[in-house]
Amino acid sequence: MARWAPDTRERLRAAALSLFEERGYAATTVPDIVDRAGVTRRTFFRHFSDKREVFFDDDEIPQIATRIISEAPRDAHPMQVVTGGLRMLARERFEPRRAEMRFARRVIASEPALRERDLRKQADLRDAIREGFRRRGEDEATAAAIAGVTVEALQAALEAWASEPAGASLTDHLDEVLRRMRALLQSL
């Protein structure tokens, strides 16, 4: 197979996920993954820092969030920006990969090192959102609240969507989580 094939990252991801499913996460090594994908270890590390990153390669999500916030109309209410951004991420990033996401969430839940990395990625997203809204003129406390609500809504919707065998879209779950959050906050 060509050393610089354009689909190398996806081949590595597919090989890793297949092996994780067959052998389990802990029993799968980087040499196993590269053998399955038909590439070298060096190629693996060009794409991923370690095998945990196979699950967390969407590092661009904080950058996407930053872009969405900065490009939103100046007069848009923060929660309109958040809702639109979450729906876009759901449709474009997560929903096309439902089976993979469901499997990934199960593996992450079973591995302490992966749960830790998942929390780190959530914190990175929270920081990006907070900073994006601070740049839009929100005070620190408001920006932090928006970021916290956004990340918690996304996580709650992802968990509900990933645990459901089929049916409602992630967008539907997001709408439901946000509806429940609004109801809870209005009852204060």
Nearest to 128, CA basis, from 64, 45, 42? 64
Question: In angstroms, rounded to a whole number, what is the distance separating the alpha carbons of residues 71 and 81?
Answer: 10
- Residue 94 tokens, joined: 């997560």
Cα angle 52, 53, 55; round to 5? 80
Q: What is the 3-state secondary structure (H, E, C) of 10-61?
A: HHHHHHHHHHHHHHCCCCCCHHHHHHHHCCCHHHHHHHCCCHHHHCCCCCHH
Its sign, for the CA torsion 178, 136, 72, 74, is positive
Report the CATH number of the 8-54 domain.
1.10.10.60
Q: Is the model's pLDDT at 10 over the cut of 90?
A: no
Give 2's pLDDT tier (boundaries 50, 70, 90): very low
Angle between helix 78-89 and 170-186 (nearest 10):
150
Its sign, for the CA torsion 11, 162, 177, 155, is negative
- Residue 81 tokens, joined: 């920006």
Q: Given 1.10.357.10, 3.30.200.20, 2.40.160.20, 1.10.150.20, which CATH number is that of 60-186?
A: 1.10.357.10
Instruction: Indicate if 60-186 has the same CATH topology as 8-54.
Output: no
Task: Note the pLDDT tens digit of each residue in 30-78.
Answer: 999 999 999 999 999 999 988 888 877 657 889 999 999 999 999 999 9
Contacts 24+ apart (CB under 8 A), 31-36: none
Residue with tokens 């040499």: 31
Task: Note the pLDDT tens digit of each residue in 89-142.
Answer: 999 988 888 888 888 888 888 888 899 989 999 999 999 999 999 999 999 999
* Domain locations along the chain: 8-54, 60-186
In Å, how far are 3, 12, 41, 44, 47 from 31, measured between CA atoms? 16, 11, 7, 9, 14
